[in-house]
Structure 1
Amino acid sequence: MAIEKLEADWANQWRGTWTSTKECEDWAVIEKVLTYQGISWMIRKVGLAITPQDGLDIVVENGVPALQVARLSLPKVLGQPVYRFPLNGSEIQYDDAPFGKLKASLKRVDGPGNVIHHDVAAVDGSWTAAHDWSIEEENGEHFHHRRTVFKTGKEVLNIHQKYKKTV
């Protein structure tokens, strides 16, 4: 099933390889979040050295548009996972090493702009993260922004990441 023309323009903005500009990131906050998620010190330090890069696409799976995310920045020896998240708000569970078992739901936000809201949580309930992913135009160029509110216990942390389309 193809995406209808009206939706194709929206979907095409997401397609491509997006590489972090690192200009909005606060690594101290990101490291704190990764610590709460149980990521080891060594993996956190390796993560600091890697520039995040994801391949994004909007695909149709079983008649439902889905966001496909390929983690391109992970070394091939660790595997480069590809995830497909239906954009209809339904919850899915999956295993995402090194984060463990997660549950997530994604939906396109109605209204102006090109926004996908993505809720993800540890299945054990130890943390949640609410993401707003958007495609925004800046000086004639499109950028992909990820704004995250991470919660664990009473702690609330905000992360902003900015990606540039590189392919």
Structure 2
Amino acid sequence: MDQTATGKFIMKKRKELNLTQEQLAQKLGVSNKTISKWETGKCMPDYSIVESLCTELNTTLAELMNGEEDDKSIHTYDNEQIMEMMKEMQELKNAKITFTGYILIIVGIVMLTLSQLFGGTEFQNFLSGFMLGLSICQMLVGIFVVSRQMAGKTRNK
């Protein structure tokens, strides 16, 4: 599954149908920037939209994933297998992001605790204040990342 090949295939099929990125985006309910990211290989379509994309481009899921017409393709995939694989990949990516958010929160709490141990001299007070500020920022970023992931999970259900 080559993102660049898939992107070029999406662009080729879109142009064969005389569709602009904007028109395809409207049909799929995404932005034209999203279509652009797919076509340049920067990211892959979300598993929840792949079937609609295949329908709009008059192609099969296997062709889309291979990035080529199926006539000469030696790869044979069951559509359900591909969808399941894409769903699992998306879930792993989301879990990784959520894990990163939790790590940021934990490190922030540890730094907050450590910042309370410093104090006394002018430099130690500065270090304590710096660690306090940094820990609060880390915790806020962590909370933002985790809450955004949780909101995405409820929206996709």
TM-score range, shorter chain: under 0.3
User: TM-score of the superposition, structure 2-length normalised?
Assistant: 0.24
Bigger fraction of residues in strand: 1
